[in-house]
């Protein structure tokens, strides 16, 4: 039963994704690989839409993936699956607030979790780069690289990191500009 | 107004006004929840954020649950959370429907190919930011490298890495290694 599986998959993502924002991305990659409900390329598109619309990225991604998999009921069920573990855990933690914050085992567990979470997001990023910046089917050489895409990536990187007036701009600006470049240069 | 309804509507408003979630939400929460409603103090909000970052799940949702629970117990926590996710559900469902209908058009495909390039850079920037708050010493670097390698080259589930990394953190810190 697709609805039950959707709920369960997103419940797992909500339970194990630590650190917010893109932390759910590795779990969604994992769901894509195991279920075939959507592809990693679709996931990259969903990420762009989720970053460009209001609401927390994780929630937007769950709604989008749920909708792609099983329409409107799917969107609702995936989102509820994602937030259910949070709600349960926070309701429990709220009862022991101070003890939880000062617990040395909790703190040391998170000392290990944060680098792991960062690494999983990095791996997801490398996955998107493989899809986008290189022609994975080609032998290594000049034609292995997708040069127009690399050039666009370099420009966006410079504008988001080093150019004072543009690096504070909202990501939606870069997403829309990249869409326009993609249409004009027929990416 | 009924406070349950107020919790739902206030967090729906926060959800509409937040792009990206997480830290981007803090100023909006300060305005709506601390200054306008007086439901929490700035210190409590900072606490909720800190705990939201070190409990599983979406930080925005965790914070909403906390404040709702504080005002009206368990039903309050649930209603605040539903309020927070409601705008996403509506907006994304509409957009996803539109995009599905237009995705066969050639220019839409070119646009998304361009967007994906941008997404690469956005993820790269997010990783650099995460790295600064996550990796403080050699052990952090070791955990990062091990999880990155294993994620790329083995089919293991992320759940395995989460559990192993938490265990590694407890072992390293309680056996005297790593920066506190």
Q: What is the ipTM of this complex?
A: 0.82
pLDDT at B178 over 70: no
A32: alpha, beta or left, given left = phi > 0 and alpha = psi -120 to 50? alpha
State how far the Cα of B136 lies from the Cα of B117, in Å rounded to an integer: 30
User: Which residue has tokens 């117990």?
Assistant: B73
Q: What is the pLDDT of residue A9?
A: 95
Q: Which chain A residues are Cβ-neighbours of B7 within 8 angstroms?
A: none
Q: Which of B53, B55, B134 sits opposite A90 (nearest CB)?
A: B55
User: What pLDDT is attached to residue A88?
Assistant: 93
Q: How confident is the model at residue B87 (pLDDT cuts 50, 70, 90)?
A: very high
Q: What does the pLDDT read at residue A28?
A: 92
**CB pair distance less than 8 Å for B119 and A175:** yes
CA-closest candidate to residue A183, choices B102, B117, B118, B110: B110
User: Rounded CA gap, A124 and A122, in Å?
Assistant: 5
pLDDT, tens digit (0-9, with 9 covering 90-100), for B23-56: 667 778 888 898 899 998 888 887 787 777 778 8
- Verify whether the Cβ–Cβ distance B135 to A118 is below 8 Å: yes
Q: What digits encode the pLDDT tens for the residues A90-127?
A: 998 888 876 777 788 888 888 888 898 889 888 888 88
- Region at A2 (left for phi over 0; alpha for psi -120 to 50; beta for the rest): alpha
Confidence band for B179, pLDDT divided at 50, 70 and 90: low
Residues of chain A with pLDDT under 50: none
With beta carbons less than 8 A apart as the criterion, state whether A44 and B122 touch.
no
Q: Which of B77, B85, B115, B159 to probe by mutation at the A interface, max A CB count within 10 Å? A: B115
B71 bridge partner residues: none
Q: Which of B53, B62, B96, B156 to mutate to test the interface with A (most CBs of A within 10 A)?
A: B96
Assess whether pLDDT exceeds 60 at residue B94: yes
Q: What is the pLDDT of residue B155?
A: 85
Three-class SS state of A39: coil
A96: DSSP letter: T
- What three-state secondary structure class fits B71? helix
- CA dist A173 and A26 (Å) reads 25
> Quick one: pLDDT at residue A165?
85
- In the DSSP assignment, the letter for residue A121 is H
Give the nearest chain B residue to A187 (CA atoms).
Answer: B110
Dist. CA A126–CA A70, nearest whole Å: 28
> What pLDDT shows up at residue B153?
92
B54/A87 touch (CB, cutoff 8 Å), yes or no: no
φ, ψ for residue A132 (rounded to 5)? -115, -45
Question: Which residue among B22, B50, B155 places its CB closest to the CB of A20?
Answer: B22
- Kindly report the nearest CA distance between residue B25 and chain A, in angstroms: 9
Mean pLDDT score of chain B: 87
What letter does residue A18 receive in the DSSP assignment? B
CB spacing of A113 vs B169 below 8 angstroms: yes
Chain B nearest-CA distance from A159, in A, is 10
Domain parsing of chain A, residue ranges? 2-111, 133-187
Go through chain B and tell me how many residues it has.
180
Cβ distance of B134 and A85 shorter than 8 Å: no
Is residue A14 within 8 Å of A85, Cβ to Cβ?
A: yes
**pLDDT the model gives residue B180:** 53
pLDDT for residue A114 = 85
Alpha-carbon gap, residue A125 to A177, rounded angstroms: 20
């Amino acid at each position: 039963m697709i609805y039950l599986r959707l709920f369960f998959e997103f419940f797992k993502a909500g339970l194990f994704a630590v650190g917010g924002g893109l932390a759910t991305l590795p779990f969604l990659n994992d769901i894509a690989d195991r279920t075939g409900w959507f592809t990693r390329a679709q996931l990259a598109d969903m990420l762009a839409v989720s970053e460009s619309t209001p609401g927390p990225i994780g929630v937007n991604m769950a709604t989008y993936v749920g909708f792609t998999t099983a329409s409107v009921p799917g969107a609702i069920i995936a989102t509820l699956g994602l937030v259910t573990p949070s709600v349960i855990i926070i309701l429990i933690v709220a009862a022991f607030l101070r003890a939880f914050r000062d617990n040395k085992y909790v703190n040391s567990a998170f000392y290990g979790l944060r680098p792991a979470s960062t690494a999983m997001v990095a791996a997801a990023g490398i996955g998107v780069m493989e899809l986008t910046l290189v022609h994975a089917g080609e032998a290594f050489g000049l034609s292995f690289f997708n040069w127009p895409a690399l050039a666009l990536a370099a420009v966006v990187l410079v504008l988001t990191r080093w150019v004072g007036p543009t690096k504070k701009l909202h990501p939606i600006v870069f997403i829309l500009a990249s869409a326009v470049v993609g249409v004009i240069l027929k990416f | 107004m009924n406070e349950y309804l107020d919790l739902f509507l206030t967090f729906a408003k926060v959800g509409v006004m937040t792009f990206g979630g997480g830290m981007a939400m803090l100023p909006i929460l300060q305005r709506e929840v601390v200054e306008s409603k007086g439901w929490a103090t700035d210190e409590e909000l900072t606490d909720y954020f800190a705990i939201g970052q070190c409990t599983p799940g979406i930080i925005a949702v965790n914070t909403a649950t906390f404040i709702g629970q504080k005002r009206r117990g368990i039903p309050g926590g649930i209603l605040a959370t539903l309020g927070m996710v409601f705008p996403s559900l509506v907006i994304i469902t509409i957009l996803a429907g539109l995009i599905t209908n237009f995705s066969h058009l050639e220019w839409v495909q070119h646009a998304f190919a361009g967007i994906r390039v941008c997404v690469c850079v956005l993820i790269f920037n997010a990783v650099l930011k995460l790295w600064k708050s996550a990796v403080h010493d050699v052990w952090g670097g070791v955990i990062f490298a091990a999880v990155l390698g294993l994620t790329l080259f083995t089919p293991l589930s992320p759940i395995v890495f989460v559990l192993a990394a938490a265990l590694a953190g407890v072992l390293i810190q309680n056996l005297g290694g790593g920066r506190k």
